[in-house]
């Protein structure tokens, strides 16, 4: 394997850490040599499976007729719940996520049967020929109805500090608002896909596209009523996961394994794109409300925020997702008194799931709406209100009572005000808007503070397996998965650094449950923090062994010894790393080990709704400028400047890539990606033709991304910070800038609410609300004048 460096910013010479090595698969991906699950050569006699899914959102199955499906040439068998030897409930944390249903239908697209055939085409055609009769029930699709009926998948949970109600009542000013926030389709380029192969030992070998191979292993075993060692999962790479393959890769793998179990043959399952859209969960849509009390300066005194997630039909990960929304409803701002409640609403849709930010974005946008609304209400600049309310020493306690300990946003904002020329551009934009009747410009700078750690404590652990072959080449396995984010490259850099050897000597490839067991999902942006530390611990164990061996062998002191530039250097001389390894082998020194890591310091007491759920916070900010057309509602981002904190970066180029991608994905969520379900609960936006993700042309014309230079004060791997999710929420700057453009219509006295996604329709509606506001305010003013 070759590790090239790019010409992007690099760190110190001679170190692997801080250098911009290109992604381990980049060239293979570009030339088409990177193998994904669906690219693997098919075994002779292998079979294909396809699910039969419901065509109603709620009801009961009355009858099923498979005659015409069986008549399709190539059909081998059709499986139902009766064929499941073990459990049919594959809930990852709580029960309620069903593999196949035989009676109650709870969402449109719910799997009922599994058709197995000799070809993909035959399986798909036959799946459509199954005739199912239903007795339909009214689907619950309206979240306000669900709230009223307390229709939950999990009980509500609230954060409380001080007396929010009283603080709001006593405040000089109070305002309230609400926001209907859209969901988001993951749109990974590689859809859900799995291959299950019965092994000669009578077990099951799985190749799949999953962020959580251990959970897939455990669930397949439970469905088949087998011990966990019956199943081995291999996962080389995903063509994107974005959270959509944290729990929701498992059902498809379980189905493939069920068919392989009964037929004794290799079975592949791959969802067609529109079925992937319909039958897999998305980012949760939310409906949130807020009330805030503040003083004449705009200093927040109390907030009452109510957060409601559309969870779909089952718990899946919704409990943790709504928790993360609660934990981020403050974003970077201090709320002296706060009541923040989170409801997990049950609706008759597919079960919504993890998606980059994991509920954080849907909580954080409330904080940004609220500070903007305060600013327009007081006729002050929104950035002033943001700065005023930032966490600072003495005003550092979050609503869940974790103390904020790092206050770099103030400095980051100052840097951006200057480099992004905030104040001059703001003035120029206001002047432009005065003379431009149709095109209006807007500008907004929004910060991000994102908590790093799984909020489920036991998930904050990782393992690694490190082996050195007798020629000095190194193979590392770890519990994380590669989904494009560059985790394997970073792990290789960490091990290269630990041994001070070239990247060319290190191989990190497929994740396997028989190499590193009981792993956590690669999620919560913690892949490098957890697995990098486990790999580093493994490397340090072997390093110690090598040093002790060399000290004895060469009769030199341990203290003076070091690994440097592919050599072991000691008092009496030096020896190459490869020679050292061979010597150690000949002297019977073990050259393999495991490494383990568990994040210290974190806990959360759910009863008290307080604790220290995050090891540290990652920070960032974006300054976006937009243009809207008030006749059509069309909007474009003309410039975005980002300053983002990745601590001391392990690989600056990969980090910048993550920041760029996350920002664009966040912008897509808030502007163009419009999920719509029809009145029967069927997903209407179920293909690229009806669901618009950002294209390359949507990149801001000017797009500057910079890393903020600072070490992580927490003891993370080489002082780096997680980067996967935090920059997603930088996209909020675009939504806030559109509101700023809308506010120009009212001469910045009022910004109409703007329910994301800010599609042209939504923007046009807000334009009309602003124009209406002008009319009413004018009338009031006129009236007041005539009375005087
Ligand atoms: N980057 C790419 N290219 N593809 C992905 O699927 N997923 C994101 C982020 N960046 C993703 C990505 C999500 S949701 C998470 S949680 C992190 O990567 C997971 O990887 P990490 O913990 O190694 O950063
Ligand atoms: N983030 C992502 N995935 C998770 C989390 C989290 O905080 N908790 C459980 N799964
Ligand atoms: Mo990411 S949503 O934590 O997989």
CA-proximal residue: ligand 2, atom 8 (nearest): 454
Three-state secondary-structure class, residue 5? strand
Which atom, in ligand 3's list, is nearest to the CA of 724?
Answer: 1
pLDDT over 70 for what percent of the chain?
A: 97
Q: With bands split at pLDDT 50, 70 and 90, how would you rate the model's confidence at 709?
A: confident
CA-proximal residue: ligand 2, atom 10 (nearest): 454
pLDDT over 90 for what percent of the chain?
A: 96
Q: With bands split at pLDDT 50, 70 and 90, how would you rate the model's confidence at 784?
A: very low
pLDDT of 12 strictly over 50: no
Question: CA of 227: how far to CAs of 93, 204, 221, 230, in Å?
Answer: 19, 11, 6, 6
The residue whose CB lies within 8 Å of the most ligand 2 atoms, and thus the one to mutate among 524, 527, 599, is 524
Which atom, in ligand 1's list, is nearest to the CA of 526?
Answer: 22
Mean pLDDT of 197-220: 98
Determine if ligand 3 sits within 6 Å of the CB of residue 212: no
- The 10 Å Cβ neighbour count of residue 350 is 26
60, β-bridge pairs:
104, 135
- Using an 8 Å Cβ cutoff, are 733 and 640 in contact? yes
Which atom, in ligand 3's list, is nearest to the CA of 725?
Answer: 1
pLDDT of 718 strictly over 60: yes
Task: State residue 778's pLDDT score.
Answer: 74
Angstrom distance (rounded) from CA 91 to CA 311 = 14
> Which tokens sit at 36?
């994904």
Short-list 15, 188, 9, CA closest to 655? 9
Nearest-5° Cα angle at 544, 540 to 549: 150
DSSP 174-197: EEEEEEEE--B----SS--EEEEE
Short-list 540, 573, 331, CA closest to 446? 331
The residue whose CB lies within 8 Å of the most ligand 1 atoms, and thus the one to mutate among 459, 483, 492, is 483
> Which tokens sit at 594?
């495991």
Task: State residue 10's pLDDT score.
Answer: 42
646-677 pLDDT, tens digit per residue, is: 999 999 999 999 999 999 999 999 999 999 99
Look at phi and psi of residue 277 and say left if phi exceeds 0, alpha if psi is from -120 to 50, else beta: alpha
Identify the sign of the CA torsion 505, 510, 514, 518.
positive
Determine if ligand 3 sits within 6 Å of the CB of residue 732: no
- Using an 8 Å Cβ cutoff, are 720 and 654 in contact? no
Determine if ligand 1 sits within 6 Å of the CB of residue 725: yes
Nearest-5° Cα angle at 38, 32 to 43: 115
CA-proximal residue: ligand 1, atom 23 (nearest): 527
Q: What is the 3-state secondary structure (H, E, C) of 33-59?
A: CCCCHHHCCCCCCCEEEEEEECCCCCE
For residue 456, report the distance from its CA to the centre of ligand 2, in Å: 7
Look at phi and psi of residue 421 and say left if phi exceeds 0, alpha if psi is from -120 to 50, else beta: left
Mean pLDDT of 7-29: 78
Longest CA pairwise span in the chain (Å): 102
573-604 pLDDT, tens digit per residue, is: 999 999 999 999 999 999 999 999 999 989 99
Q: With bands split at pLDDT 50, 70 and 90, how would you rate the model's confidence at 774?
A: very high
List alpha helices for 523-576, DSSP H.
527, 533-554
Q: With bands split at pLDDT 50, 70 and 90, how would you rate the model's confidence at 113?
A: very high
List alpha helices for 466-589, DSSP H.
487-499, 527, 533-554, 577-586
pLDDT of 8 strictly over 50: no
List alpha helices for 555-587, DSSP H.
577-586
105, β-bridge pairs:
59
Which atom, in ligand 3's list, is nearest to the CA of 355?
Answer: 2
Task: State residue 781's pLDDT score.
Answer: 61
CA-proximal residue: ligand 3, atom 4 (nearest): 243
Angstrom distance (rounded) from CA 317 to CA 331 = 22
Look at phi and psi of residue 416 and say left if phi exceeds 0, alpha if psi is from -120 to 50, else beta: alpha
438-489 pLDDT, tens digit per residue, is: 999 999 999 999 999 999 999 999 999 999 999 999 999 999 999 999 999 9
557-566 pLDDT, tens digit per residue, is: 999 999 999 9
Identify the sign of the CA torsion 417, 377, 362, 609.
positive
Which atom, in ligand 2's list, is nearest to the CA of 246?
Answer: 3
Short-list 659, 658, 671, CA closest to 698? 671
Angstrom distance (rounded) from CA 642 to CA 649 = 16
Tokens 């000095």, residue located: 472
Instruction: Give catalytic residues, as residue numbers.
Output: 725
Mean pLDDT of 136-155: 97
Determine if ligand 2 sits within 6 Å of the CB of residue 523: yes
Q: What is the mean pLDDT of the chain?
A: 96
Angstrom distance (rounded) from CA 703 to CA 596 = 40
The residue whose CB lies within 8 Å of the most ligand 3 atoms, and thus the one to mutate among 324, 352, 358, 480, is 358
Task: State residue 787's pLDDT score.
Answer: 42
Ligand with minimal distance to 520 CA: 2
For residue 758, report the distance from its CA to the centre of ligand 1, in Å: 25
Angstrom distance (rounded) from CA 396 to CA 390 = 9
Angstrom distance (rounded) from CA 354 to CA 324 = 11
Ligand with minimal distance to 462 CA: 1
DSSP 91-137: -SSSS--BSS-SSEE-STT-EEEEEEESSHHHHHHHHHH-EEEEEE-
For residue 354, report the distance from its CA to the centre of ligand 3, in Å: 6
Determine if ligand 3 sits within 6 Å of the CB of residue 355: yes
Look at phi and psi of residue 524 and say left if phi exceeds 0, alpha if psi is from -120 to 50, else beta: left
For residue 541, report the distance from its CA to the centre of ligand 1, in Å: 29
Determine if ligand 3 sits within 6 Å of the CB of residue 238: no
Task: State residue 15's pLDDT score.
Answer: 85
pLDDT of 783 strictly over 70: no
- The 10 Å Cβ neighbour count of residue 12 is 8
Ligand with minimal distance to 604 CA: 2
Determine if ligand 3 sits within 6 Å of the CB of residue 727: no
Determine if ligand 1 sits within 6 Å of the CB of residue 389: no
Determine if ligand 1 sits within 6 Å of the CB of residue 647: no
Determine if ligand 1 sits within 6 Å of the CB of residue 526: yes
384-435 pLDDT, tens digit per residue, is: 999 999 999 999 999 999 999 999 999 999 999 999 999 999 999 999 999 9
> Which tokens sit at 573?
């001389």
Determine if ligand 3 sits within 6 Å of the CB of residue 243: yes
For residue 479, report the distance from its CA to the centre of ligand 1, in Å: 14
Look at phi and psi of residue 681 and say left if phi exceeds 0, alpha if psi is from -120 to 50, else beta: left
Determine if ligand 3 sits within 6 Å of the CB of residue 524: yes
Determine if ligand 1 sits within 6 Å of the CB of residue 361: no
For residue 19, report the distance from its CA to the centre of ligand 1, in Å: 20
For residue 246, report the distance from its CA to the centre of ligand 2, in Å: 9
């Amino acid at each position: 394997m070759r590790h090239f460096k790019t010409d992007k910013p690099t760190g110190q010479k001679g170190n692997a850490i801080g250098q911009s090595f290109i992604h381990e698969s980049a060239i293979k991906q570009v030339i088409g040599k990177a193998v994904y699950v669906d690219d693997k050569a098919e075994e002779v006699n292998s079979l294909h499976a396809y699910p039969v899914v419901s065509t109603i959102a709620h009801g009961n199955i009355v009858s099923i007729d498979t005659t015409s499906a069986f008549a399709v040439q190539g059909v081998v068998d059709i499986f139902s719940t009766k064929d499941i030897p073990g459990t049919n409930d594959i809930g990852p944390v709580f029960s309620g996520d069903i593999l196949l249903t035989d009676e109650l239908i709870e969402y449109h697209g719910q799997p009922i049967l599994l058709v197995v055939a000799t070809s993909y085409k035959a399986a798909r055609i036959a799946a459509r020929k199954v005739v199912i009769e239903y007795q339909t029930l009214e689907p619950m699709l309206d979240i306000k109805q669900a709230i009223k009926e307390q229709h939950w998948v999990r009980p509500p949970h609230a954060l409380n500090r001080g007396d929010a109600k009283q603080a709001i009542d006593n405040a000089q000013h109070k305002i309230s608002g609400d926001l209907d926030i859209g969901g988001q389709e993951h749109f990974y380029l590689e859809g859900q896909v799995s291959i299950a192969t019965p092994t000669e030992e009578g077990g099951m070998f799985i190749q799949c596209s999953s962020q959580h191979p251990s959970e897939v292993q455990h669930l397949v075993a439970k469905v088949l009523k087998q011990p966990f060692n019956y199943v081995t999962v291999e996962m080389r790479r995903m063509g994107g996961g974005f959270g959509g393959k944290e729990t929701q890769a498992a059902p498809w793998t379980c189905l493939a394994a069920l068919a392989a179990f009964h037929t004794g043959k290799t079975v592949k399952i791959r969802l067609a794109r529109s079925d992937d859209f319909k039958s897999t969960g998305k980012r949760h849509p939310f409906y949130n409300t807020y009330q805030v009390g503040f003083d004449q300066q705009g200093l927040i005194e109390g907030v009452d925020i109510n957060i409601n997630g559309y969870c779909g039909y089952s718990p899946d990960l919704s409990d943790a997702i709504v928790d993360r929304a609660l934990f981020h409803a403050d974003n970077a701002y201090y709320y002296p008194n706060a009541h923040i409640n989170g409801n997990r609403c049950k609706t008759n849709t597919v079960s919504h799931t993890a998606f980059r930010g994991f509920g954080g974005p849907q909580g954080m946008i409330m904080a940004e709406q609220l500070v903007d609304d305060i600013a327009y209400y007081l006729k002050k600049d929104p950035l002033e209100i943001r700065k005023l309310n930032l966490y600072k020493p003495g005003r550092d306690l979050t609503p869940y009572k974790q103390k904020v300990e790092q206050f770099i946003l103030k400095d980051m904002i100052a840097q951006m005000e200057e480099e992004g020329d905030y104040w001059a551009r703001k003035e120029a934009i206001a002047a432009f808007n005065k003379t431009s009747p149709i095109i209006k410009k807007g500008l907004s700078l929004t910060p991000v503070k994102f908590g790093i750690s799984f909020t489920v404590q036991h998930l904050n652990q990782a393992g690694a397996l490190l082996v050195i072959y007798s020629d000095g080449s190194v193979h590392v396995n770890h519990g994380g998965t590669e989904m494009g984010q560059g985790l394997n490259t970073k792990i290789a850099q960490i091990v290269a650094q630990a041994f001070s050897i070239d990247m060319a000597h290190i191989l990190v490839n497929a994740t396997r449950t028989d190499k590193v067991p009981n792993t956590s999902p690669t999620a919560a942006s913690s892949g490098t923090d957890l697995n990098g530390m486990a790999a580093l611990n493994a490397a340090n164990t072997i390093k110690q062994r090598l040093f002790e061996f060399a000290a004895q062998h060469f009769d030199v002191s341990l203290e003076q010894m070091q690994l440097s530039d592919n050599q072991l250097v000691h008092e009496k001389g030096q020896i190459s790393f490869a020679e050292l390894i061979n010597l150690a082998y000949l002297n019977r020194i073990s050259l393999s080990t495991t490494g383990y890591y568990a994040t210290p310091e974190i806990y959360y007491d759910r009863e008290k709704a307080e604790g220290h759920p995050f090891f540290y916070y990652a920070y960032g900010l974006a300054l976006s400028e937009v243009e809207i057309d008030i006749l059509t509602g069309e909007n474009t981002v003309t410039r975005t400047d980002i300053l983002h904190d990745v601590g001391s970066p392990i690989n600056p180029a990969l980090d910048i890539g993550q920041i760029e991608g996350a920002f664009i994905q966040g912008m897509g969520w808030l502007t163009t990606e419009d999920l719509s379900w029809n009145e029967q609960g069927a997903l209407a936006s179920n293909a690229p033709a009806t669901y618009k993700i950002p294209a390359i042309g949507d990149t801001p014309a000017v797009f500057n991304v910079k890393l903020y230079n600072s070490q992580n004060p927490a003891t993370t791997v080489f002082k780096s910070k997680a980067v996967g999710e935090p920059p997603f929420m930088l996209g909020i700057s675009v939504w806030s800038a559109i509101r700023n453009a809308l506010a120009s219509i009212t001469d910045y006295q009022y910004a109409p609410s703007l329910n994301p996604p800010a599609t042209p329709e939504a923007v046009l509606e807000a334009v009309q609300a602003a124009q209406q506001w002008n009319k009413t305010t004018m009338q009031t003013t006129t009236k007041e004048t005539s009375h005087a």
